Amino acid sequence: MSNSAARLSIALAADLSAIGFPDAELELMPGTGVSHNHYRITGTDWILRAAHLSQSGMEAAGQLAIQAAAFERAAPSGATPKLKAILPVSEALPRGGLIVERIDGRLPQSAADLPDMARALAAIHSLPIPKHSERAPILHHMNPFVPLAANVKATLEVYLSSAGLTAKGQAMIEDRLQWLIATARHDMGATTSCLTVSDAHPGNFRMLDDGRAVFVDLEKPAYTCPTIDLAHAVIGISSAWDPAAGLVLTAADRQAFVDAWLEAVPASVAAMAEPRILMARRAVWLRTISFFMKWRKESAVQGPWSAERLGKEAASHFRSHVDASLSEAGILAAAEDWA
């Protein structure tokens, strides 16, 4: 057990005992999450999920409540870990913690895993959604592309000029942002909302022996258009993000993923989503490239974003992937989704 895990075990002993884990010991699990640490509760099938930052700057209690609600509401899908308990914000857990089911599955290894991943997302997207008055604390976006465009614009205003891009690369991003703002303003047809996970890159799935996939990272849920999740799973900038589950996909691979999802969701969801699949890929590429600019700058300094938290191998992979994505060649390569 690491020193930090030992100290946390002692600090949380009473809380863990109160929820059925007397004399529990925590073991820091290897991983590459930017926002969370995960601790195995030894001798059990549960883990402690402890955030150390909010990527959107959300205050700790609000972030904890949203993530707890996401695990609770997604559980009936059978495609997410179960939630056992919520540990409040404290000195030991500055952003609180969730006790969630440990999923002992492998990471996706190839494009052959994509249809099972698609069906896992479809199970979440097919859940009935609460009435408007009962959706809080999870946010609801009738038109997801409007807040997404606003988020990209705000991030680029802070980080674009210092991102070290070529003049051509910067101009392409600025042009694509204007396209997204204009398109989002006029697309009012995405009226069917689903519970979405927002960060559906392959590294956030686990593949089980029975062929099912489980999505494990309910960090940024929303009630909105599910094409956001479909995009995040297959565009190159995100599908290659995780060093242990980076998938390089062809157009045929992406289509097989989409086809599996369309077959698994209700017909009304499929009809609304299909015309917006390409639009979502463009939008999520912009959201991700702006996040990469932020990560490259913030991860270089000490603090909650520091790349040192990730370990040398993961940090090296992330830096390499971010640098390649922000290069002029990388930006040009992404242009296939603008065809």
Superfamily (CATH H level) for 111-338? Aminoglycoside phosphotransferase (APH), C-terminal lobe (3.90.1200.10)
CA distance 102 to 136: 27
Asked if 292 and 322 touch (Cβ cutoff 8 Å), the reply is yes
Residue 106 pairs in a beta bridge with 207
Which residues in the chain show pLDDT less than 50?
none
Class level of CATH domain 3-101 = alpha beta
Dihedral angle, C-alpha 201, 203, 208, 210, nearest 10 °: 30
CA distance 291 to 220: 14
Helix (H, G, I), strand (E, B) or coil at 276: helix
Q: At what angle do helices 167-186 and 277-298 cross, to 10 degrees?
A: 130
Considering only CA atoms, which of 189, 212, 200 is closest in space to residue 268? 189
Model-level pTM? 0.94
Residue 189: per-residue pLDDT: 61
CA distance 250 to 258: 13
Residue 57: per-residue pLDDT: 87
Length of the chain counted residue by residue: 339
Phi, psi of 222 (to 5 degrees): -160, 155
Domain boundaries, the chain: 3-101, 111-338
Whole-number Cα distances in Å, 112 to 116, 210, 250: 8, 14, 12
Through-space distance between the first and last CA atoms of the chain, rounded to whole angstroms: 51
Residue 277: per-residue pLDDT: 93
The amino acid at residue 250 is T
What DSSP character marks residue 140?
B
The amino acid at residue 231 is A
- Strands (DSSP E) contained in 142-297 are 194-196, 205-207, 213-215, 222-224
